[in-house]
Chains A and B, each alone.
Chain A
């Protein structure tokens, strides 16, 4: 479905997008942002599930299982800590306004 040059175009455009989106982030949000981007690459979960779904030997199932456990940890953990951190900024902003 995605092949050769098309994949390279996707790669290039995504690389520029990442650069542009991040370059406007203030320093104070760097830690939550790193955490947020950490959550985003948790999409690896989708790939790990596909790999485990296609596994047909015990070895492959074991590796795939570990992969899905790790990927789910990345996605869920990344989301939880990012949301916790960002909520604090909202509280601080409100206190400033009050």
Chain B
């Protein structure tokens, strides 16, 4: 066994290399061509840091056994679930893994605080803040997972909710202050502190509607990063400080980009109880939805010049991405100019639709984002909306009473014809009526997205 100072140096060097690999890996993930190598570089860094730590951390045989058993349990369960999960369920899996990271950061803080031997006020403060953020991210991410997985279907809202949350936050702050200042410490205080922090994560996330989940998951991702960085300070671990902070700042930027795409501030997402005002704001939507048969819709599409397809969460739910690309290829063979228009917040995560279309094999150059495609709806013969709702609601442009007023939308209503594939006549996840569905040029094709697209394929083939 090398000397303690050599061990220290080797460990720190391995962390330095790991941190560099994480940053380079994230950098390589910024281009589709190098992206896979990017995650592998980061993976090498992770394995290096883990192996060196296990080798040099000087655990007793019992503790070493526990470490290896815990890694085996957590690793195997995550490996199997990660390999099995359908692409469409990715958002909730990321929320779940992210919550686990937050929980781990909280556990590190809990070990420090329950041990009670730490007297350095700076370290105690860092451990407390990191533990708080980690616990909130843990329980909040679990609620987000439950909502996206359909385990929690109600958004719990009540009057004065903000004040209840504020009260919980203040209790956490008071308990945290007691632990740091040493006026009152001991296991009951520490337990109460973590109990209230977990409660806050639940209380904060329960009222948030499904349409806002992308922003929330991204926010918790950034928060977990910060929690890891704080615990890194406590443990004098540079790899945790660097990796946690990089994720914290990157995640914050990503969260802002997403909130901006919905034209809402982050505080609005978290505290406005989205959806409560929708009943008042939808009085402007009048008219009836007009249905169309798949056979008629198929003929219309087969003889079009230009079709823009707008996918949404409904496509993910129905796992319709492969059918949609099959249909698009058929149309392209017919000489139709087919494009895919992706709204930044379509689905339940940013880029959710891009991942699904990539899975089906749709080439990048057919996929356009909001800025690129919006001028082209004017010249489109058909805008085919597959399971999207709020992102094509013209009320966002024109109806000041609408809760989504001001959100940038895809101008599908400018197309000559609009075909909407939708499961039923109800409103979408956010509970807002859609003015697009009752326009003169709009026809509704009711049914599961995969089944409906299958019928369209038959109709297009029949049309010759």
Contacts and interface: CB of A to CB of B under 8 A. Distances in A.
Contacts of B463: none
B238 A10 contact: yes
A44 B104 contact: yes
A73 B78 contact: yes
B85 interface: yes
Interface string A58-92: 01110111111111111111111111111111111
Given A43-B46, A43-B244, A47-B104, 8 more contacts: A14-B241, A17-B246, A38-B101, A41-B221, A60-B111, A63-B107, A74-B104, A79-B46
Nearest to B97: A77
Contact residues on A (Cβ < 8 Å of other chain), bracket: 35 or more
Q: Which of A16, A26, A75 has the most CB of B within 10 A?
A: A75
Given A29-B29, A70-B103, A76-B74, A81 B90 contact: yes
Contacts of B385: none
Interface of B: 8, 12, 15, 18, 22-23, 25-27, 29-30, 32-33, 35-36, 38-40, 42-43, 46, 49-50, 53-54, 57-60, 63-64, 66-67, 69-75, 77-79, 81-83, 85, 87, 90-91, 93-94, 96-98, 100-101, 103-108, 110-112, 114-115, 122, 187, 217-218, 221, 224-225, 228-229, 231-233, 235-251, 253-254, 257-258, 342, 344, 349-352, 354-355, 357-359, 361-365, 367, 369
A49 B228 contact: no
Which 5 residue pairs spanning A and B have beta carbons closest together?
Answer: A67-B107, A72-B74, A80-B82, A77-B78, A68-B70
A40 B36 CA distance: 14
Nearest to A82: B39
Contact of B358 (A37, A75, A89): A89
B33 A93 contact: yes
Given A38-B97, A40-B26, A89 B35 contact: yes
A90 B364 CA distance: 11
A72 B70 contact: yes
14 contacts: A1-B236, A28-B364, A36-B42, A43-B228, A44-B228, A51-B111, A64-B66, A64-B111, A68-B104, A73-B78, A75-B50, A77-B100, A78-B101, A81-B85
A23 B98 CA distance: 21
A2 B249 contact: no
B interface, over-half SS: helix
A22 B28 CA distance: 10
B25 A40 contact: yes
B248 A70 contact: no
A interface, over-half SS: helix
Q: Which of A61, A63, A95 has the most CB of B within 10 A?
A: A63
Contacts, number: 383
Contact of A44 (B82, B105, B245, B365): B105
Contact of B344 (A27, A73, A79): A27
B240 A47 contact: yes
B114 to A, nearest CB: 6
Contacts of B103: 66-67, 70
Nearest to A7: B233
Contacts of A61: 63, 66
A65 B217 CA distance: 26
Contact of A70 (B39, B66, B100, B367): B100
Given A50-B57, A51-B112, A74-B97, A65 B90 contact: no
A31 B32 CA distance: 12
A36 B217 CA distance: 13
Nearest to A78: B97
Contacts of A14: 229, 241-242, 245-246, 249
A40 B246 contact: yes
A46 B50 contact: yes
A42 B39 CA distance: 13
B94 A47 contact: no
Contact of B82 (A59, A64, A67, A81): A81
